[in-house]
Amino acid sequence: MKEYKLAEFLKAYDTILFDMDGVITSEQAYWDSAALTVYEMLYSSQYYGDKVLDAKNAEDNLSKIRKDIFCSDRTIRLVKDKGVNSNWDLAYVVLSAALISEKELSFEDVYKKIDSSGKDAFEIYDTLAELLSVKFKKEKAYFERLSTFWQEVTNCFQEWYLGDINYKNTYSSLPRLSDKSGFMSAEKPLVDHDKLICLLKLLKSDNKRLGVGTGRLRAESEPVLINWGAREFFDDDALITYNDVTSSEEELAACGLNVNLTKPHPFMFLKGHFGNEISAIDIVNENYDKESLNRTLVIGDAGADLFSARAGGFSFAAVLTGVQGQDARTFFEKENATFILNDVLELMVEK
């Protein structure tokens, strides 16, 4: 049996913060859910279409539906490259661009519409909300990110991801379209499970503080880590999820500060670094010890992770296991990522 040790470069760091999807968890279940969300909301008479849909039939035809809607996943890569990190937002952006199409719907045209809507996530959100407002003759606020429309998208997404039973147990309500089996239960590690556990054990035995900065909800991240026997390795106040983002945004809004804390904002990784030591207000006002930041390494697979880490003042290790695969190397080289790894298991080497 092979024995491993930590890579030499990790001696420079006391804290390791992981993104989840594309790093230790696969995003396939989320991309499937996003594709079916766009499909249902575009075509179902319960939303913006005129058809009566069948959930089982949609799941049976998932491969074709996802290929069409995401242009063989090129649209996913485009959206991720522009800094859209949450898969809720992926569905929101693609659906929005599809709804504003002025002619017969073509997902190639949707791709082009997204590409021309802005250079980064925040510009895209604003442009699409404005265009939806004009088309549907409603206030722009109705279509903005975190709006009524956005919440409708995320609810539909959760129905597909969780499935009927888990959705009902989580939200105490029934899906609009029933017979959804759910994709969450089928999740597997992105890398070999035993080697992942070996890596986490090595990191903890070297007294590293381990954390997560993920766009997932806690109810969708913690159970996965528990199922894999990996939760015990992560510090409680360093496991930062989308719940922490929304609660902190609400806290700031109550103080008159309307700030979007999703990546590429550095909030998640700064919160993971400092834990309970500082508040969201301290983070936004940069009221914290910046000298300690160079002892933390952020590991991610996407541009949003790199930009978030850079904005926070952290070193960044890119892994080539995201949607772009090895093709992302050129991007990370151009953006001067501190390290570029084929996958997260390259944090350790054979003895």
pLDDT tens digit sequence for 26-58: 888 899 999 999 999 999 999 999 999 999 999
Q: How confident is the model at residue 104 (pLDDT cuts 50, 70, 90)?
A: confident
pLDDT in tens, 66-98: 999 999 999 998 998 888 878 899 999 999 999
The pLDDT > 90 percentage for the chain reads: 80
pLDDT tier at 216 (50, 70, 90 boundaries)? confident
Q: Look at residue 109 and tell me whether its pLDDT is greater than 90.
A: yes
**Site of tokens 């319960």:** 46
Q: What is the DSSP letter of 44?
A: B
Euclidean distance between CA atoms 143 and 145, whole angstroms:
7
161-180 pLDDT, tens digit each? 999 998 998 889 999 999 99
Task: Supply the DSSP string of 90-137, one letter for each residue.
Answer: HHHHHHHHHHT-SSS--HHHHHHHHHTS-SSHHHHHHHHHHHHHHHHT
Tokens read off for 231: 């939760």
Please state the domain extents for the chain: 4-26+187-350, 28-185
- The confidence score (pLDDT) of residue 265 equals 93
Q: What is the pLDDT of residues 243-296, one digit of tens each?
A: 999 999 999 999 999 898 988 899 999 999 999 999 999 999 999 999 999 999
Going through the chain in order, the beta strands assigned E by DSSP cover: 4-6, 15-18, 209-213, 239-240, 296-300, 315-319, 339-341, 348-350
How confident is the model over 321-341, as pLDDT tens digits?
Answer: 988 889 999 999 999 999 999
Q: Alpha-carbon distance 342 to 325, whole Å?
A: 9
Tokens standing for residue 138: 């409603």
Q: What percent of the chain has pLDDT over 70?
A: 99
Average pLDDT of the chain to the nearest whole number: 93
Q: Give just the sign of the alpha carbon dihedral 80, 81, 84, 86.
A: positive
> pLDDT value at position 121?
87
Q: In the predicted model, is pLDDT for residue 102 greater than 80?
A: no
Backbone torsions φ then ψ of 183, nearest 5 degrees:
-105, -15
* Interstrand relation of 4-6 and 348-350 (parallel, antiparallel or unpaired): antiparallel
The predicted pLDDT at position 166 comes to 87
What is the reported pLDDT for 65?
Answer: 98
Torsion angle of C-alpha atoms 288, 292, 293, 297, degrees rounded to 10? -140
- 118-128 pLDDT, tens per residue? 888 889 999 99
- Cα dihedral 12, 17, 22, 25, rounded to 10, equals 120
- Token pair for 162: 């969780």
In this prediction the pTM is 0.75
The rounded distance, in Å, linking the Cα atoms of 339 and 351 is: 21
Given the candidates 1.10.1240.10, 3.40.47.10, 3.40.50.1000, 3.30.930.10, the CATH classification of the domain at 4-26+187-350 is: 3.40.50.1000
Residue range 178-207: average pLDDT?
Answer: 92
